[in-house]
A and B are shown apart, each in its own frame.
Chain A
Amino acid sequence: MTDNYESQLRARLGALERAVPVSSEEALAGQTIRGRARVRSALPVGSLVAAGLVALIVVGIAPRLAPAGVGASPWGAPSESAPAWNPGAMMLPQLAPNGAGYTYVDGTGLFVTADYGATWSGPRQIPAGDSPQDHLWDMGTLDFADGQHGWMTGVTNGVTGSKVSEYRTDDGGQTWKSVPIAMFTETAQPAGTEGNWVFATQHFVDALRGRLQVGRQAGAQEPSACAEWVTADGGVSWARTEDVQCLASPKWVTPTLGYGRSGAGASIWVTQDGGVSWRSGELPGAWSTYSFSMLAQESNGTLTLVVASGSSSTQPPMAVMASDDGGTSWRLAYEVDPAKQTQAIAVPDGLALASPARWTLLAGNSLWESRDAGLTWSKVGEHRFNDPQGTAWWDEQHGAMLDGEVLVTSDGGQTWRQVNF
């Protein structure tokens, strides 16, 4: 970094910083540390509305949710604002069956592969909005069933409110079409709320059949009931179903086997039919407070769930639970060797499933594998990764890793190749 570059950047960043609207009156007017109370409540409601800080009440999770396919609302020109922030940095590729997958490179766009990461097409741009008058403010989840068919939940803002839309592409992200799903209207923000967030996620079992859930955060509480829609034509049309349990971070082992945790409780929810039906169960004892790292299914149908405390100071930091009845009752199978867990518990995607018979683990900046469901581990290759953030596998041979850059392997992790986007 040259002095000139840094000095100019410091001067202009400093000018931007000084322009942030933090008046001395605002900073001092009655603002004290009040436990978990929030300073925002000290501001007049009028100023909150003027600043665009409004609670957006969904037009009906329950009776107020508008049906999919409602007519266009009077979305006016967006208010003057900065463009939406980039939705994220370079991400661990999200994998789909038959060698398909995608990743998002910050500031560049979406890249899609259909050959196990050997080649990537892109950059594709995620949708900018439903019309020239809208603009996409934020995206929820993105999901591809193969190299061509993908879907994305997104929020667009207009002067009269916000809406959640479902976007779909059938050409690998080159073009997108949308269906409005949930409508929002504005109202004053209650003091003490945690902000305005909508939970929007979808999952497709193949290029035609998918499910979409939308929930709204109420105050500091994570949503419990989510409105659900289903499609059987690849997202062209959606039909509303009954409200369902909102699940935190639902993960999919296969297109049909998925699991998640309810936000309010410690229950684990498991589906083996792509989300049509779910079974819930409780982990015994203190294991219920652990987070879920990975679910696998053995050849005899037994489900194994790896749980982690998230802290190396908790002993044991990681264990394997088992269920023989599809996820209703769970028992401790064994505690995983803690010597291997120090890094894995700090890496959300550090544990991965290459196949039901092969688990992999990032620990000590190296890749390890186990073929006995985590009882014993051996190092894969002689690597010293920089800052591995996770691995994902298409099959036992083909996988991807995020280590600052996206890496792919076609020999089970013995060698890795950096992808140049």
Chain B
Amino acid sequence: MVGTEAIRAGAVSLDEAFRLHQPRLVRRLALVVGDAEEAKDLAQRTFVRAAERWPLPPEQDVASWLSVVGLRLALNERRRRKVWGFASVKETDATWAIEVDPDLWHALATLDRRTRAALVLTVLDGYTQEEVAAALGVARGTVASWLSRARDRLQPILEEEPR
């Protein structure tokens, strides 16, 4: 984990875990799904999953577990909806992102969810490509391919100062 002290499941109650981790989980998921409200829904569903399994194994890093489960939910929901032929009729309000870093936001928008999930897990959470591959159920080479494609898109943006 990058910049985060791991909190083991055995040390906190579920309510405490919710209080400690829900805001951060929402922020992570918002970067992947592009919508803060959808991220809140996904975070809530993640905690419902946690409630069904609580207590987690004592040595389980709670933040990591929540992050991976939340991202899987985000990816699976999209896949399920697309299989059904569903289209969203909800419009994202992303002014919060546009105000902060419009160039990076627009570049991220050209990547698919799985790639954004891999970016978040590697760049912000410090997971290795192997760990991301295991978490998302794909081959390591696939993750490497996603990250390479992401780099092609993002590097030109990073060479400029944020507007």
CB–CB A1/B18 < 8 A: no
Across the interface, which residues of B come within 8 angstroms of A22, CB to CB? 22-23, 26-27, 36, 40
* Overall SS of chain B's interface: helix
In the complex, A155 Cα to B81 Cα: how many Å?
14
Binds B, one of A75-83, A272-280, A297-305, A371-379: A75-83
With both beta carbons as reference points, the residue of chain A lying nearest to B159 in the complex is identified as A8
Pair A153/B87 contact, Cβ less than 8 Å:
yes
What are the residues of chain B within 8 A of A38 when measuring CB–CB?
A: 41, 44
| Number of residues from A at the complex interface, CB < 8 A | 76
Residues of A within 8 A of B38 (CB): 195
> Hey, which chain B residues are within 8 Å of A54, CB to CB?
90
A417 interface contact, C-beta 8 A:
no
Fill in one digit per residue for A20-31: 1 if any B CB lies within 8 Å of its CB, else 0. Answer: 111010011001
Roughly how many angstroms separate A85 CA and B82 CA in the complex, as a whole number? 14
B92 at the interface (CB under 8 A from A): yes
Whether the Cβ atoms of A107 and B111 lie closer than 8 Å is: yes
A190 close to B (CB within 8 Å): no
A40 to chain B: closest CB distance in Å?
7
Chain A contacts for B36, CB-based, 8 A: 20-22
Report yes or no: A197 in contact with B94, Cβ–Cβ below 8 A: no
CB nearest neighbor in A for B106 = A83
Stretch at the interface among A64-72, A133-141, A329-337: A133-141
Separation in Å of the B14 CB from the closest CB of chain A?
Answer: 6
Provide the residues of chain B in CB contact with A46, threshold 8 Å. none
- Asked whether any CB of chain B lies closer than 8 Å to the CB of A9, the reply is yes
A79/B89 in contact, CB under 8 A: no
Q: Which of B2, B110, B119 has the most CB of A within 10 A?
A: B110
The yes or no answer to B97 lying at the interface (CB within 8 A) is: yes
A386 at the interface (CB under 8 A from B): yes
A382 near B: Cβ within 8 Å?
Answer: no
* Contact call B18/A82, Cβ cutoff below 8 A: no
The reply to whether the CB of B105 lies closer than 8 angstroms to some CB of chain A is yes
Contact with B along A105-126 (1 / 0, CB 8 A): 0110000000000000000000
**Chain B residues within an 8 Å CB radius of A5:** 151, 154-155, 158
Which residues of chain A have C-beta atoms less than 8 A from B47's C-beta?
A: 33
Q: Is the CB of B109 within 8 A of A199?
A: no
B85–A199 touching, CB < 8 Å: yes
Find out whether the CB atom of A82 lies under 8 angstroms from the CB atom of B97. yes
Taking a contact as CB atoms under 8 Å apart, the answer to whether B48 and A88 are in contact is: no
Choose, from A11-19, A237-245, A314-322, the stretch at the interface. A11-19
Instruction: Evaluate contact between A89 and B15: CB separation under 8 angstroms.
Output: no
Any chain B CB within 8 A of the CB of A200? Answer: yes
Taken together as a complex, chains A and B put the C-alpha atoms of A217 and B84 apart, in Å, by 11
Q: Are B158 and A8 in contact (CB under 8 A)?
A: yes
Contact of B90 among A52, A82, A346 (CB under 8 A): A52
Contact with B along A29-45 (1 / 0, CB 8 A): 00111011011100000
Q: How far is the CB of B78 from chain A (nearest CB, A)?
A: 8
The chain A residue with its CB closest to the CB of B138 is: A387
Question: Is the beta-carbon distance between A197 and B110 smaller than 8 angstroms?
Answer: no
Q: Is A184 an interface residue (CB 8 A)?
A: yes
**Does A309 have its Cβ within 8 Å of any Cβ on chain B?**
no
- Please tell me if the beta carbons of A53 and B90 are within 8 angstroms of each other in the complex: yes
A249 touching B104 by the CB < 8 A rule? Answer: no
Measured between C-beta atoms, what is the minimum distance from A312 to chain B in Å? 13
Scan A125-159; emit 1 where CB is below 8 A from any B CB, else 0. 00000000000011111000000000001110100
Within 8 A of A (CB), among B21-79: 22-23, 26-28, 30-31, 34, 36-41, 44, 47-48, 50-51
- Cβ-defined partner of B112 (8 Å) among A18, A81, A84, A106: A106
Residues of B within 8 A of A6 (CB): 123
Bound complex: CA of A204 vs CA of B142, how far in Å? 34
Cα distance A75–B111 in the bound complex, in angstroms: 29
- The distance in angstroms between the C-alpha atoms of A165 and B14, with both chains bound, is 45
How far is it, in angstroms, between the C-alpha of A53 and the C-alpha of B94 when the chains are bound?
13
A197 touching B162 in the complex, CB below 8 Å, given contacts A6-B123, A106-B112, A387-B138: no
A339 within 8 A of B: no
Q: Which residues from B are CB-within-8-Å of A153? A: 85, 87
Cβ contacts under 8 Å, B90 to chain A: 52-54, 56, 195-196
Instruction: Provide the bound-state CA to CA distance between A12 and B36, in Å.
Output: 18
- Kindly list chain B residues whose C-beta atoms are within 8 Å of the C-beta of A137: 87-89, 91
* Distance, CA A53 to CA B88, complexed state (A): 12
Chain B residues, CB < 8 A from A217: 86
Residues in B whose Cβ lies below 8 Å from that of A82:
34, 92, 94, 97-98, 105-106, 109
Which 3 pairs, one residue from A and one from B, show the smallest C-beta to C-beta distance?
Answer: A201-B85, A82-B94, A89-B112
The contact sample of 15 A-B pairs, CB cut-off 8 A, is A10-B124, A16-B100, A17-B27, A19-B97, A20-B27, A22-B36, A52-B92, A54-B90, A80-B95, A82-B105, A82-B106, A89-B112, A138-B88, A222-B84, A404-B145
